[in-house]
Every structure is written in structure tokens, then in C-alpha cells.
Structure 1
């Protein structure tokens, strides 16, 4: 039996190495690491095989193949073969990777999108395992899987990023859940930090940039203002040095303006130009605080590396994020609940686990059709706790799903009596005529 284990990011690679050490990967005679660079701009980012510590991490596997190099210039995320091409690609990949004709096991990232979905379709009879991709694994499946994939799913392997929190990914299929505990991943970060040296004073903060503008979650100016708020938090804490680590997929120019503002604020701004993971930097430099919006790095810093964290801009993002089922919503809700609303992680909740109940309600609102079994729990939570957690929900979504509390429901024109609707139309027509007359008067005066 050969196992193909796919990784598209450095963090995934570190997690998979920890899963191998912990004995969580499926049994196989040979384990092949499949690199599928998931960068938004692969031409401007360092390939996975050239990142620091790659050889150490890859040593957990028998050999490495590069799927991105095989499909170039098409990116792995763009690889989507037609049904009549699947058998051809199976033959090609088996030959290119020397897989023989025997059975396979696939350990993939998010199976809902390519290239993971494409690989699962190509190797049509392989057993399927899904490994976690940061905080998104706690969110619901974004679309219903084809029966051919559902029938072969064996289970999931996720990192316990938020102690005790259960993932909703693929919950509708009731998969086997394997858990990688925090201390196992901490060993990997410590190992990587041994060869990383960041000379920083004790009174320093680490800001983790995100590529929110590149993902069109906000425009460039809004993202810049968000980073300025993070600089202000550094000042509020009485610190004088800030280390800024841009997201690997972010624009290379995003930090230039920020450096100027930091200097004007009297901060010693240091741009971290490294391919090391944020967690490796934290383990090596030991900053006093890690600041970001809703980066997974906040959870790893807090619960794996025991470092103080601060989240900025999550409340605004919760309301701006669209559509409601956007896969970033669960990570955003988790960070806002933990580090803005100060909810404890489930393992630390002492019986009153409000975070899990909140995420059940959010998950149901995101994917009600796929998770009908969560409706009763979601309704119960909202009927009691909506006022204190309203930032996580949209009134339009609650109205559409007919969830409590009813007093937040939006009023539909169809629900109004016919006389009221008729009066509304008359008012609109009258107002339109008045605006038209005013426009004509202004035109005559201009002449």
C-alpha cells in the first residue's frame, strides 16, 4: 500500500510531519509527500522544497514528488480534469511517480477544492483521509461532496489548535476524528527554531500580516488602516519595537507605507524578510505579544507556544465578510470570541462551553441545508445569547432561516398589508415626479 500525502503550504507540511511523528497517518508500505504549492502568486514566493527546514520535515516521508512542477504552468488549484480524462491522468501519474498498479491511500487537504478534489477523482478507488488546514477545519463543508468521494472517506486528522474544540468539517458524514495534540506540533516548531535566530529586544511585538486585500475581503487602504491599528496597540502596551511578518501570499509592497507610519509613531519597525513560519519566529524570538486580525498564528501562539496575543479589527470584519458562508467566517468568529470576547477554549471552559455552542449556530447559519441536525441547537443558543453574540450573525440570514430571536427579523415588503404596500408605491411615484420637476428647474436656471 502506498500513501500519497499532499501539502500545499509550509504550515501543512509542519503539521503533517508532527502527524507522522505521532503515528496518526494511515499505515502504508511507502509514504510519498506530494507538494502542491497553494500560493496565490507562486512565481513570487519560495517553493516549499526551498523553505528553511524542509529537509528535516520531509525526512518523515519515504520520498517527495512535486505536483506543481508536473502541472506547470497551470497551478495546482487550477487543475481540474474532465471526467473522460481521469483514466488518462491516473496512468500518467502512476508512471510519473512510480506508483505501480496497487491500491493507494490519499491524505489530502480540503477535499472540496482542487487539487485535492482532482487527485481524489483521478485515483477513483483510493481510501481518503483529510488533514486539517488551520482554523478553517473547524468550519462546515462548503459544498456537498459527490457520492464517489463520500463513500471512500475514512476520516480526518486535525490539529487541536483550540484545545477541545470539535471541527465541523465533513461532520455530515460522521467521520473518524484523529487529533494531533498541541505538544506534538510544538516539538516541530522547537526543532525548526533551533536553526532560526532572530535578534530582538525583550520589549518587542510581532505583527502577523494577512493577505486580506489580495483575497478581496477589504481594499488596500482598509488593510493598511487595519495594520496601523495594530501599530497603535504596540504603543498602547508601552513597547517600542515591532517585528512585521507579511503573509507569504501578500503583496511585496504592503509593508513599505507601514514602515513610514511606524517611524512617525516612534516605533522601531523591523520587516521580517524570512520564509520561516510565524510559529518558528515566535519560538525563536519570544515576543511579548503577537498581534493580527484572525490569523491562525494567534491560536498557535496562544495555545501551542504560550505567548500573549491580541486581535484587531475582527468585529468590523465579521459584519463586512460576504457572503455569510465565506469559509473565513469560522476562523474569524473563533478569534473574535477567544481574544476579543474572552471566551475560554472548550478544554478550559469548566462545563460552560459557549464557544462550541456559538460555532454550532454559526456553522448552521452558514450551511443549513447540509447540517439540518444543528438547527435545534442553533435556535436554542440564539434565543438566549443573540444580544451578546450578535456580531457573529447577519439579520438577513437569521430572517431567511426563521431563527430566533424574532425581533431582529427584517420586515419584508410582502409581509406588509396591501394598503401599506400601495401607499408605499404612491409615495415613491410622487417623490420621483418631484425629483424630476426639480431637475428640470435646475436645468433651466443653468441655461
Structure 2
């Protein structure tokens, strides 16, 4: 059987190579790595093949193919063939990737979205394994999957980024869970670091590494507020005793933000260096040995802390938990994890034993996010909120609790607040409908206010 293994980021390529070394990938006679750049702007990011150390990783697979090149100028995330086109695309991919008529199995990431879902639809009878490299695997499945696809799911493979924490991805499906230990991933990053020329990577002493996040692309923060968030990271670096800051911008961010941050750093008396490299943050940490790693909710914070043993600081997670919208935003679980571990100082499940508060918290958040798909989590969510809401209120929104009728009832918005919100919604509707409907909507507003007041 031929195995198609899809990767959309360089970290995923590293993760998959480590999974191959650890013999966690399903058995196959031939393994093909399918590159599908998941960047929102792949045109301005380095192609996955050109990242440093790629040849070392590609050696773990029998061949490498590029879905980006085949689909150009369409991006992989836009690949959504119509049902009547599926046989045609299967014939095309079998020809271009030299698959012949051999049965195929799939190892996919982000099964809820394209191109992973498109590949699963094209190879309609292939068994499916789902791999995950980051923190999102700890959250619930974003979209409801078709029953035929659920029936083909066999297993998930995830990195133990939070030691002992079980993923909620595909919790609704009876899949086998495989775990890639951090020691296996650390071995591979050590190999990648050893392949670098130390003379090309000289870093200042007593420096903090700030890992930038492009929150503007997610529609979470505007440019000014994102700059302020990064400014707070500089303050955290100074307070931690750093005399210099190495800033690794997000690959999708423009140069302006980094230049503005340079001026802020100089005003604080910090030496500032912009790190223009395609090296992953984990490789940079191995080469740099920073005083501390600082970010918001980057996966690098947890891989630095639990895999590389480097001190870390998270900045801005509390505010971000309230800014994220809608509540089911798939970034919510990663932010909650970082906030709980690094701000609230909860223990990981591996360390907590029978007193695992983190898992209970995340399951309560997951129920609030995807209550229709995960009704079995309600009882646990009610118990957790009844006992722990005050300590963990930052993770929940009061209106969400009210809509789902979850405890504590005293935290629900008052009737006056709800009536005001309904009124604002009706006024906005009036503006959309037009002036001729204003009288009718005004009467509706009056009736609504009257019912609420009663």
C-alpha cells in the first residue's frame, strides 16, 4: 500500500520525520511526502523544500511531491473539487505521483479543512490517520465531519507538547491515539542544529528570544495593538534581566512591524536584532541558548519549556482569551493551554496525577466551543464550573454560559444587559432593512423590552 503523507508547514515536516523515526506512522510499502503550503500568503514565504535541513528530513520518505505546483495559481487551501470532479482528480494525482492502481492510505493534518479534506474525498476508500504538530490538536474538531469519512479514521498521532495531555481532536470518533515523545523530536532538532554552521549564527550574550505572532492576519488584533503586545514582550525581556533581544518575526508579517519594534527596544536600552531566517524557533533556541523565550501563545513556548528546558514567559494571553471571537475560534484552546500553564501555573497532567485540573478546564472550554458535537462533555463542564469558575473565569465568556445555561448562574449577564444587547441588535437590523421598516422594528423593540422587564 502506498501512503500519502500531507504536510502544510515546516514544523510538520520535522514532526513527520520524527514520527517515521519512532515507527509511529502506519505500515506502508512506499511513503510519499505531499507538500501543501498552508501559509495564508505562500507567495511571500519560503517554499517548504527550500527550508534549511529539508534534505535531511526528506530522506525519511521514499519521494516528495508538491501539491502547490500542481494546483498553481490556486492555493492548496482553496482546493475544493466538486463531487463530479473527484474521479478526474484521482486519475490526475495517480498519474502525476506515479501511484498506478495501487491502494492508497492517507496521513493528513487538519482533516476538517482543505486540502486534507479534498484528498480524503478524492481517495474515497483510503484509510485515514491524522497527524498533528501543534497545540490545536488538543482542541475539539472544528467542523462536523461526514459519517463516511469518520468511518475511515483509524488513528491520530500527536506530539506530547503538554506532557500527559490527551487531545480532543476527533473525540467524537473511536480512533487509536499514538503519542510522539518529546525526546524523539528533540533528537531530530539536535540533528538539524548540528547541520548548521555556527559561524553564521552568532547571537549576543544574555539575550531573550521574542517569537512574534501575526495576530493581525487572524483578525484578532489591529496593527497598533499588536505592536503594543510586542512592546510588552520587550518589557518582559528587560525585567527578566536581558540586555539584548533577538526578534524572530512571523513569516507572514511585513518588515514595518519589526522596524517599529526596534525603535521601542532602543528606547528601553535594549540591543535589538531582527532574525531573518527560515530556521524554526526550536532550532534557533538550540543554537542560541537564550536567557528566556517570550511570546503570546506560540507552540515554541511549550516546546522550549518541556522539550529544550529553556525558561519561557507568556504575554497577553488573558486579554486574548476575551478578544477571540467567535467563542469557537480554533485558537482558543492553544491560548487557554498557555494561559493555564504559564500564567496560572497549573501542572501538566503528567505531573498532576489524580489532581489534573488542566484537562477538566480544557474539556469545559471545549464543550462551550462545540456543545452540539460534544454533548457528552456537558456534565463534566457543569461540575468544573460549579467548583472552579472564579479561579478560571478568564477562559469563559458570561454570555456563552448564559446561552448554554451553565453554572454559575450568578455570572450570567443581567436581564437589563441582555435587553440592551437585544435592542442594539434590533437597531442594527433597522439600519440594514431601511427606513420604511423602522416603525415595525421599533414596535418589536418596545415589545421585547417589555417582556424582559416582566
TM-score range for the pair, normalised by the shorter chain length:
over 0.9
Give the stretch that moved more between structures: 140-149 or 194-203: 194-203
CA distance in 2, matches of 1:319, 1:333: 11
Quote the residue 1:390 is aligned against: 393
How far is 1:415 from its partner? 9.5
Runs of 5+ unmatched residues, structure 1: 417-421, 430-447
How far is 1:253 from its partner? 2.6
Matched, 1:290 2:269: no
CA distance in 1, matches of 2:122, 2:204: 52
Superposed, 1:288-437 pairs within 5 Å as 288-412=291-415, 425=446
How far is 1:228 from its partner? 0.2
Largest Rg, 1 or 2: 1
CA distance in 2, matches of 1:415, 1:391: 20
Matched, 1:123 2:114: no
Quote the residue 1:215 is aligned against: 218
How far is 1:425 from its partner? 4.7
1:109–1:131 contact (8 Å) kept in structure 2: yes
Aligned residues, how many?
422
CA distance in 2, matches of 1:378, 1:173: 20
State the secondary structure of the residue aligned to 1:171: coil
CA distance in 2, matches of 1:59, 1:299: 27
TM-score (normalizing by structure 1): 0.92
RMSD: 1.7
Quote the residue 2:79 is aligned against: 79
1:301–1:309 contact (8 Å) kept in structure 2: yes
Deviations 1:407-445 (Å, cap 9, x if unpaired)?
Answer: 1112346999xxxxx9x959x99xxxxxxxxxxxxxxxx
CA distance in 2, matches of 1:171, 1:345: 20
1:321–1:329 contact (8 Å) kept in structure 2: yes
CA distance in 1, matches of 2:367, 2:297: 21
Quote the residue 1:182 is aligned against: 182
Deviations 1:187-217 (Å, cap 9, x if unpaired)?
Answer: 1111111123332233110000011011111
State the secondary structure of the residue aligned to 2:247: strand
Quote the residue 1:139 is aligned against: 139
State the secondary structure of the residue aligned to 1:151: helix
State the secondary structure of the residue aligned to 2:177: strand
Quote the residue 2:37 is aligned against: 37
How far is 1:342 from its partner? 0.5
Deviations 1:174-199 (Å, cap 9, x if unpaired)?
Answer: 21000000100001111111123332
1:110–1:133 contact (8 Å) kept in structure 2: no
Give the stretch that moved more between structures: 276-285 or 198-207: 198-207
Give the stretch that moved more between structures: 131-140 or 194-203: 194-203
Alpha-carbon distance change, 101 to 270 in structure 1, aligned in 2, over 3 angstroms: same
Superposed, 1:246-285 pairs within 5 Å as 246-285=249-288
Superposed, 1:96-175 pairs within 5 Å as 96-175=96-175
How far is 1:142 from its partner? 1.0
How far is 1:57 from its partner? 0.4
Q: Which of 240, 243, 246 lines up with 1:240 in the alignment?
A: 243
TM-score (normalizing by structure 2): 0.91
Q: Which of 180, 201, 205 lines up with 1:202 in the alignment?
A: 205
1:255–1:271 contact (8 Å) kept in structure 2: yes
Alpha-carbon distance change, 414 to 211 in structure 1, aligned in 2, over 3 angstroms: closer
Give the stretch that moved more between structures: 199-208 or 110-119: 199-208
CA distance in 2, matches of 1:349, 1:249: 37
Quote the residue 1:230 is aligned against: 233
Alpha-carbon distance change, 414 to 333 in structure 1, aligned in 2, over 3 angstroms: closer
Runs of 5+ unmatched residues, structure 2: 420-442
State the secondary structure of the residue aligned to 2:257: coil
State the secondary structure of the residue aligned to 2:389: helix
Quote the residue 2:53 is aligned against: 53
CA distance in 1, matches of 2:64, 2:418: 61
Quote the residue 2:191 is aligned against: 191
How far is 1:344 from its partner? 1.1
Alpha-carbon distance change, 415 to 41 in structure 1, aligned in 2, over 3 angstroms: closer
State the secondary structure of the residue aligned to 2:354: coil
